[in-house]
């Protein structure tokens, strides 16, 4: 067969769309990718039902939908599911849900009788809607990856946060785990900064309420960085900061991937003995405070999207940091 008679099969195109939960992050991601944001109409009917219509063809495309699951949480989740369903019915070749903050991740197991495992339910909903792959960041519990029978790329902001504190050149630094569940992650953060590990023993008498009962490790005269996956009502980090100050810590810094800042979080942080709170923009940070610093993860998410599209390794982004 002559070359000119051969049918040219074009390489699948990449298309990126953003939901309404955090459009600023979506715009920043596509600016790093060097492509245009896909056009989609998002609306709400008078009775509260969500409407979605894609305004361009996605047939045969490699589609990435950026939607963080944030306030209003249920609307953000439902909008994502409807967007995925519309893409599947429009013959997208592959649909990747880019979920910087995975909502309901704290409900990953039963801790009392007759409780749901809502993180698994959300995973089931995404698969049923038609998702082929998930990109997410700093899940509350790593085992949530196993709730999916499809590929999950679990990114971490740990290097971004560690670089920020390395540049501050803090002296006598200790890396503090707010509970035993975060020890492995905080140990890696401490290894990057060559800082010893300290562990707080925490109890929860009720939801969104934390009490620090013990501080394990040498902290007197040190500068402490509490490393967590999220700050919601700020109860845990404020209690931790107070416990560390009582043990003789000079300064307390907080860093977390997801800055939710619900209820009186900002007020509690302002009143607490905390030098600075560092979070990323996985969710829109709406509070304004001189104590709060927001770092961007858009470049990291863009690189992950590019690697997935090119069928190259995502783990290469975190060489030397098994997570």
Gyration radius from the chain CA atoms: 21
Distance CA 29, CA 305 (A): 9
Distance CA 31, CA 298 (A): 9
Enumerate the β-bridge partners of residue 44: 50
Q: Sign of torsion, CA 267 269 270 271?
A: positive
Q: Which residue has the tokens 């007759």?
A: 114
In the residue annotation, 202 being an active-site residue is answered as yes
State the DSSP string of 119-171: HHHHHHHHHHHT--EEEEE--SSGGGGGG-SS-EEEE--HHHHHHHHHHHT-S
Distance CA 150, CA 274 (A): 41
- Number of C-beta neighbours around residue 322 at 10 A: 7
Q: Are 150 and 159 in contact (CB under 8 A)?
A: no
Catalytic residue among 15, 188, 202, 222: 202
- Number of C-beta neighbours around residue 93 at 10 A: 14
| Residues carrying an active site annotation | 202
């Amino acid at each position: 067969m002559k070359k000119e008679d051969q049918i040219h099969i074009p390489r699948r195109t990449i298309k990126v769309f953003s939901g309404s939960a955090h459009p600023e992050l979506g715009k920043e991601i596509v600016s790093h990718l060097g492509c245009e944001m896909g056009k989609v109409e998002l609306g709400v009917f008078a009775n509260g039902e969500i409407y979605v219509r894609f305004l361009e063809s996605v047939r045969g495309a490699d589609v990435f939908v950026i939607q963080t699951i944030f306030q209003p949480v249920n609307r953000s989740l439902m909008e994502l599911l409807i967007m995925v369903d519309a893409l599947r019915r429009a013959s997208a070749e592959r649909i990747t849900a880019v979920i910087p903050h995975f909502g309901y991740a704290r409900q990953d197991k039963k801790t009392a009788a007759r409780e749901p495992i809502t993180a698994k339910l959300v995973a089931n909903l995404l698969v049923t809607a038609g998702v082929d792959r998930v990109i997410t960041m700093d899940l509350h519990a790593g085992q949530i990856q196993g709730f999916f029978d499809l590929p999950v790329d679990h990114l971490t902001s740990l290097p971004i946060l560690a670089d920020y504190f390395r540049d501050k050149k803090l002296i006598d630094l200790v890396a503090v785990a707010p509970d035993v569940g975060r020890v492995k992650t905080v140990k890696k953060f401490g290894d990057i900064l060559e800082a010893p590990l300290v562990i707080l023993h925490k109890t929860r008498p009720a939801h969104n309420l934390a009490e620090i009962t013990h501080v394990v490790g040498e902290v007197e005269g040190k500068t402490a960085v509490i490393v967590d996956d999220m700050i919601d009502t700020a109860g845990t980090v404020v209690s931790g900061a107070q416990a560390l100050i009582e043990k003789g810590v000079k300064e307390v810094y907080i860093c977390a991937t997801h800055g939710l800042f619900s209820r009186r979080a900002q007020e509690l942080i302002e009143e607490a003995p905390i030098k600075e709170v560092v979070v990323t923009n996985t969710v829109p940070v709406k509070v304004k405070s001189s104590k709060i610093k927001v770092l961007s993860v858009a470049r990291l998410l863009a690189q992950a999207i590019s690697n997935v599209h090119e069928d190259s390794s995502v783990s290469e982004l975190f060489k030397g940091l098994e997570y």
